[in-house]
Amino acid sequence: MGHLICAQEARWQLELDEVTMVPMGRAPHREIESEPGPDVRLALCRLAAEGNEWLSVSDAEVRRQGASYTADTLAAVREHAPGDELTLILGADQAAHLGSWREPERVLSLASVAVAAREGMEREAVLRRLDGLGENATIVFFDMPRIDISSTLVRERVGERRPVRYLVSDGVRGMIEERGLYQAAEVGRR
């Protein structure tokens, strides 16, 4: 639900026409324990987006061979929709690390960056970390209500056999239960 609330707030506060979720294909920088794979992430995103006329899901990164990089995804979107104004929505924690991404200058040249202002991450700190990455970069902030729901929390709760109803949509919860996803998240549990 956290990602959906973030998408909703960005759309409303920034007056975006639509929001497209792009589930990660293959992460070049991290491995997630009990990861169900890109096809399952795509299916979960599609279930989460059901019923939202302004929210769509792209399979661009899932279909891509090799590691997924935001710069490549934005370039592909720009190629297919050259007249569209692109806005990359990020949490403040991710935005603060944008400088360590592959081709951060290219990311900032292809899209505006909308940063979900979250507790514990000062706007000025994010801007300082992005300073110098893009001469004409557009970075805007929008307020995000405090929602302590993350994919990590959901995976941990499922692994501990605790309920996740109201933390994810009914369709997502049904797929998690039906496929037995995240059961390996019990690592570290005694």
Query: Tell me: the pLDDT tens digits for 26-41?
Result: 877 666 665 678 898 8
Reported as a pLDDT band with limits 50, 70 and 90, residue 134 is confident
Q: How far apart are CA 140 and CA 107, in angstroms?
A: 15
3-state secondary structure of 146: coil
Query: Tell me: the pLDDT tens digits for 4-30?
Result: 889 999 999 999 999 999 998 887 766
Taking alpha carbons only, the member of 111, 179, 107, 182 closest to residue 150 is 182
Taking alpha carbons only, the member of 76, 35, 42, 44 closest to residue 59 is 42
Residue 77 CA: distances (Å) to CA of 22, 74, 103: 11, 5, 16
B/e letters for 26-43, b = 16+ CB within 10 Å, e = fewer, are eeeeeeeeeebebebbbb
Q: How far apart are CA 32 and CA 23, in angstroms?
A: 14
Taking the whole predicted model, whether its pTM rises above 0.85 is answered as no
Q: How far apart are CA 4 and CA 149, in angstroms?
A: 11
Q: How far apart are CA 170 and CA 143, in angstroms?
A: 26
Task: Count other C-beta atoms under 10 Å from residue 176's C-beta.
Answer: 21
pLDDT for the residue 190: 33
CA atoms within 13 A on the CB side of 66: 4
Query: Tell me: the pLDDT tens digits for 149-186?
Result: 778 888 888 888 888 877 888 888 888 888 888 886 44
The domain limits of the chain are 87-142
Q: How far apart are CA 43 and CA 57, in angstroms?
A: 9
More confident residue, 109 or 154: 109
